[in-house]
Amino acid sequence: MATPLFSGFRERQAGVLLHPTSLPSSPGAGAIGAAARDFVDFAAECGFSWWQVCPLGPTGYGESPYQCFSAFAGNPLLIDFAEVANSGLFDAADFEFVLPPAGTRENFADFEGLRACLFPALDRVWQVVRRDRARLDAIGDFQGFRKKHRAWLDDYALFCALKKHFGGAPWTAWPAVAREHAAAVKAAWPDSVLEQVEAVIFQQFLFFTQWDALRAHARRRGVGILGDTPIFVAHDSADLWAGTSFFQLNADGAPAFVAGVPPDYFASAGQLWGNPLYDWAALKRDGYGWWMRRLRADLELCDAVRVDHFRGFHDYWQVPANAKDASKGRWKRGPGLDFFKTVRRVLGDVPLIAEDLGELSAGVHTLRATTGLPGMAVLQFAFDGNGKNPHLPHNHTRDRAVYTGTHDNNTTRGWYEAASEAERDRFRHYLGSDGSAPHWDLMRAAFTSPAALAVVPFQDIIGAGAEARFNTPGTVGGDNWRWRLTPAELAHAKAFLAPNLRQLIAVSGRI
């Protein structure tokens, strides 16, 4: 067999999964300041080599990190305003930032309240520093940042400014001069739009400045950041607006077909994601340039990246744009090995993980094996009574990343409590468990697995129930993406759980 394109993970390691919005920062949602550094310290004390996060882009309706306004930008809601106030950018004594009131649900993020408070505050800060660039330069190279990220930053900032100018409407509903990217770039926009462009660029500067500081702290503690690259992008995004030729769109910019997956164990009617589909022929003619820029950006932001929905590179589920669900679609060929050969040639032997869950054809397995990318196993899927189930630990191979559950799964305790008695019985017999602490049983199985990488959600570390589920696939809104851990939960984990975790990770050879 030919040498795989990528090396994968060479050593046994462990990781913890927690999206930054779930951190116990200030009221609103988690941020990438002090609370994030504190979490890195916790991960290091436990012996985790990796902190896995969901995509870090700017979210819109529903707050899904898999439906962002840009595949390159950072989410300004993650900016820690307290650290902005302490940075010397402005005189904090003369600046009042009203935090969103603490909600009655301490474990849930208030994105709406945070957005209503944070964005006006950041705009006010920009009005101060735009007249005193010396303060801005004191915290970082603002002009250098603009130059480095110009390939996506200018388009994203103009997209955001125009979206605000047109009352939040999707770009396909804008006037023709704004809807057509080439015309919009050349158009003479009012000062309010141009000022908002600068304010958005400033927000991105703050995000990347804080993120770089967090990354530096993580490196010092020996913790890598494992990011996430969704295969698809949102239709209402700067990526679509500025790059329509790379997508399957109608003349009016609306998607001709949309993405999803057929019925599976996550959703009986399939999952209708609604994302526009790529025109892979057009991307290939461009040398997959947009994708190479995207992966390079993700690998500059994180130390390794999980590529979501790996199957879509082999074949993807094409659903008519007017379909009510994803049950009536058809498989279409993706770019296949040619794409990953381009990644290897342009970016080198990069650290990627292939999310290869779901019903897969033989061709998908062959593609992953040829690339050498580690696939995934999820222990919650293991106990169906089939001894050949690939999610069972005895069927794991080194070229795997094993999870107790992902961001789309219930927590392990919630899963166990909702499982059938037959499934719980198989779980107990397989793991020699009495079922009193299923989260610890499943974490032990993950860490002792032959898989090179083992990742556990933080909810499983603290034994949280179904109330702490982060996302339910096939649903929008509600409690999705809103769960947060409390300061007390993190303090308890650091004081009482970290020593046991470190011992378990150590004896399984992952430190």
> In the annotation, is 355 catalytic?
yes
Q: 132-146 in b/e burial notation, b at 16+ Cβ within 10 A?
A: eeeebeebbebeebb
Catalytic residue among 45, 408, 425, 479: 408
Length of the chain: 511
For helices 498-507 and 34-46, give the axis angle rounded to 10 degrees. 50
Burial class (CB in 10 A: 0-12, 13-18, 19+), 3: exposed
Contact 50, 304 (CB under 8 A): yes
The candidate with the shortest Cα–Cα distance to 34, out of 76, 74, 84, is 84
Please provide the DSSP assignment of 296-359 as one string: HHHHHHSSEEEETTTHHHHEEEEEETT-SSSSS-EEEE--THHHHHHHHHHH-S--EEE---SS
CA 424 to chain centre: 31
**What residues contact 83, with CB distance under 8 A and at least 6 apart?**
33, 34, 210
The candidate with the shortest Cα–Cα distance to 208, out of 155, 121, 148, is 148
- The DSSP letter of residue 457 is E
Please provide the DSSP assignment of 39-71 as one string: HHHHHHHHT-SEEE----SPB-GGG-TTSBS-S
> In the annotation, is 338 catalytic?
no
**What residues contact 280, with CB distance under 8 A and at least 6 apart?**
334, 335
Catalytic residue among 303, 315, 355, 460: 355
Catalytic residue among 38, 80, 308, 460: 308
CB atoms within 10 A of CB 320: 13
* C-alpha torsion sign, points 52, 38, 484, 442: positive
For helices 289-301 and 337-347, give the axis angle rounded to 10 degrees. 60
What H or E segment, with its residue span, contains residue 450?
none
Distance of alpha carbon 191 from alpha carbon 189, whole angstroms? 7
Structure token digits, residue 389? 């189930």
CB atoms within 10 A of CB 498: 20
The candidate with the shortest Cα–Cα distance to 22, out of 498, 500, 464, is 464
Active site residues: 308, 355, 408
